[in-house]
Structure 1
């Protein structure tokens, strides 16, 4: 359901005209004026700030054809043209069609087309309608095809019928519906060809017996318009009822002055277990000199661009570059990382991507799609595990800032996480030089983000930059 605009007043009821099937050729042109107003207001729309000049229909399916006063459910894949942003992103839309629209669904109204096959009917965000959200679960319970859509489930998955749906409002880049506190359906809004890591990695982990990540029970996808890999559209997983995310738990501990090091140590252990299982389930690659050189070069380019955008970074640029230079420094005839390997990782790990169950205090990791803004091929590429570790260390710094804790809390918690990771990972643990490089790269990204979007938060990553630069200069101990 959209919360980006106040509820819209329902237009006077008009009788829907009979005509061609709703998903026919006139559908998108009739919806385009409504979508141009509604789509940019959604939290999951990636092209904010740039106008949408038009739409292209990638695929359409009638999950439930509209008829009379009964609601219909249309599934659309629509490409939004934004030349000013240089983007042509494809979005998954689930549209309810009903006439008249019940008052309780008024906040979900997108509008009433003036022409086309849905002329005069109310078109709205389908996830706000419990009947239509329940229909999605029924489709996932029964594998099969529906036009361009394919619904699949694990053979041993048991999905009860009649679970009451409840949409979640907290997410940004996706949408989720909880069914009876038993399952959660995650719907990807911006989609493209290729297997989404949020389906690929949890399924691979399930095959290893790893229980730190909820295993998918069912999913659905769409044929790619160019005949390539299918597009992952949604995943149904067990819902971990009675759990809280790590961000809430850390802030709760800070609010009452409780120690969080034991929790951080256990979280580090859980992260190591997941990394080890991923390395077992999927191929790994050597971190050869050429790969390290490309990595360091990309980090340097991001640093230079960030320093141009945020002058406060410029005094630290030389010291930070030396951290990246360490990745390719020769020690005799080999680099210091000659025998280390890259592997599949979480890709966007922070406290908000973790859950701890209250009953047993067990940590789980969730949301394996990686950073949604990055291309899918990049998110599926093996990376050093230090990238995930660095993301979590930065998250502890942010929690300390929000909870108004001193640097001691962050330092203790960071160290506890690293201790737990080292204890839980067989073989070589983290490499401090790779970790510094990735933490530096993450802090540089945060500086640019905060300067653009939350200037009051800029001191948080700048403090980390100063600490990392001092460490690179050898003038302070690494914390």
Structure 2
């Protein structure tokens, strides 16, 4: 294991985007892909093996500086014995964040990396990116009021569903979908026995927007603060917004059904789906024991699926869909 891999072995489990909390990292290997030489910026594919079996490939951009930078102290990963010796989290090293936009605008192609720019897309240049602190599983940079870059921290085979869905919806002009500007793919890399994967996507940014989680949390906070009032009497009541969010969700799902495959499930197939849901719940409880008090209620909800009679219509949807992923602008939900 290299010195850099040793640093990452200690650093990765402490990051919010690391989803395997509680698992022991038994092996860590890293493959760098150089993006810039001065300062040195590298995209690392970090291959992690776990003590209980299984493996993941994480995407970790790093910047390296010859001199230690006091302004980057909080994003310092560690020191190496070779120059440039000081290693930082490149997603939080503001000096190097404009590089991503430069590479998209140039349609950069280096070894297995390819920056794809959507036809007619305009990319702002010379703007540093600011990290989005509320994200859990990925990392995003906001560039002024123009664009947002989402880095997918775990490398999965094939085109990321986020990119696939936004690309498919391009022709529908749905007002609840922020236009896709481009995406970054790795081509020819073997991941879980399949080729290719998606590193990041670049989207139009929606300024002056609030994420759904923050709005819902503020609504509950206000409700508790005004204990003698009904929810609809509190200024931040989320009930009406949740209804509008449901309408926006239905609109997007209708367009998805129009541009992506649909199908039906029989009763036997539904049983397989139910078994998979219960299996994932058990695995989640093993990793996060605090979920145990809620497990029985979730199993009961899952069991209600057996009341359905086939054939049951199914369609492609955005799997990673939650309040933290939606934004409320003056025009509505996106």
User: TM-score, with normalisation over the residues of structure 1?
Assistant: 0.60
Question: Which protein has the bigger helix share?
Answer: 1
> Structure 2 CA distance, aligned partners of 1:110 and 1:83?
23
2:33 touches 2:42 (CA, 8 Å); kept in 1? yes
For structure 2, which runs of at least 5 residues remain unmatched after alignment?
224-233
Q: Which moved more, 1:240-249 or 1:293-302?
A: 293-302
Determine whether 1:100 maps to 2:67. Answer: yes
Instruction: Report the equivalent of 1:218.
Output: 182
- Larger radius of gyration between Structure 1 and Structure 2: 1
> Structure 1 CA distance, aligned partners of 2:272 and 2:171?
33
> Structure 2 CA distance, aligned partners of 1:156 and 1:29?
43
Decide whether aligned partners of structure 1 residues 188 and 305 sit closer, same or farther in structure 2, where only a CA change above 3 A counts: closer
> Structure 1 CA distance, aligned partners of 2:280 and 2:40?
47
Decide whether aligned partners of structure 1 residues 194 and 311 sit closer, same or farther in structure 2, where only a CA change above 3 A counts: closer
Aligned mate of 1:56, from 29, 47, 51:
29
Cα offsets for 1:132-188 (capped at 9, x unmatched): 111111111111311221111101101121123212222121111111121110001
Displacement, 1:223?
A: 2.3
Aligned mate of 1:140, from 86, 104, 109:
104
2:41 touches 2:62 (CA, 8 Å); kept in 1? yes
Instruction: Report the equivalent of 1:391.
Output: none
Secondary structure in 2 aligned to 1:171? coil
Aligned mate of 1:323, from 286, 304, 309:
304
1:73 touches 1:94 (CA, 8 Å); kept in 2? yes
Displacement, 1:321?
A: 7.4
Aligned mate of 1:247, from 210, 213, 221:
213
Secondary structure in 2 aligned to 1:225? strand
Instruction: Report the equivalent of 1:90.
Output: 57
> Structure 2 CA distance, aligned partners of 1:314 and 1:107?
38
Decide whether aligned partners of structure 1 residues 35 and 250 sit closer, same or farther in structure 2, where only a CA change above 3 A counts: closer
> Structure 2 CA distance, aligned partners of 1:55 and 1:64?
24
Instruction: Report the equivalent of 1:271.
Output: 249
Secondary structure in 1 aligned to 2:47? strand
1:74 touches 1:96 (CA, 8 Å); kept in 2? yes
Q: How many pairs does the alignment contain?
A: 317
User: TM-score, with normalisation over the residues of structure 2?
Assistant: 0.85
2:112 touches 2:189 (CA, 8 Å); kept in 1? no
For structure 1, which runs of at least 5 residues remain unmatched after alignment?
1-27, 328-335, 365-479
2:281 touches 2:295 (CA, 8 Å); kept in 1? no
> Structure 2 CA distance, aligned partners of 1:147 and 1:229?
14
Cα offsets for 1:102-123 (capped at 9, x unmatched): 2101222111223xxx356111
Aligned mate of 1:199, from 151, 163, 171:
163
1:195 touches 1:229 (CA, 8 Å); kept in 2? no
Determine whether 1:235 maps to 2:198. Answer: no
> Structure 1 CA distance, aligned partners of 2:70 and 2:168?
45
Instruction: Report the equivalent of 1:453.
Output: none
Instruction: Report the equivalent of 1:165.
Output: 129
Aligned mate of 2:269, from 266, 291, 295:
291
Instruction: Report the equivalent of 2:39.
Output: 71
1:92 touches 1:233 (CA, 8 Å); kept in 2? yes
Instruction: Report the equivalent of 2:3.
Output: 30
1:45 touches 1:173 (CA, 8 Å); kept in 2? yes
Cα offsets for 1:56-97 (capped at 9, x unmatched): 33x4211112xxxx421011111012123x231101111111
2:124 touches 2:147 (CA, 8 Å); kept in 1? no
Secondary structure in 1 aligned to 2:194? coil
Displacement, 1:220?
A: 0.5
1:307 touches 1:317 (CA, 8 Å); kept in 2? no
> Structure 2 CA distance, aligned partners of 1:112 and 1:307?
37
1:112 touches 1:120 (CA, 8 Å); kept in 2? no
When the two chains are superposed, the root-mean-square deviation of aligned CA atoms in Å is 2.8
Displacement, 1:33?
A: 1.9
Decide whether aligned partners of structure 1 residues 319 and 284 sit closer, same or farther in structure 2, where only a CA change above 3 A counts: closer
1:141 touches 1:159 (CA, 8 Å); kept in 2? yes
> Structure 2 CA distance, aligned partners of 1:305 and 1:105?
37
1:306 touches 1:313 (CA, 8 Å); kept in 2? no
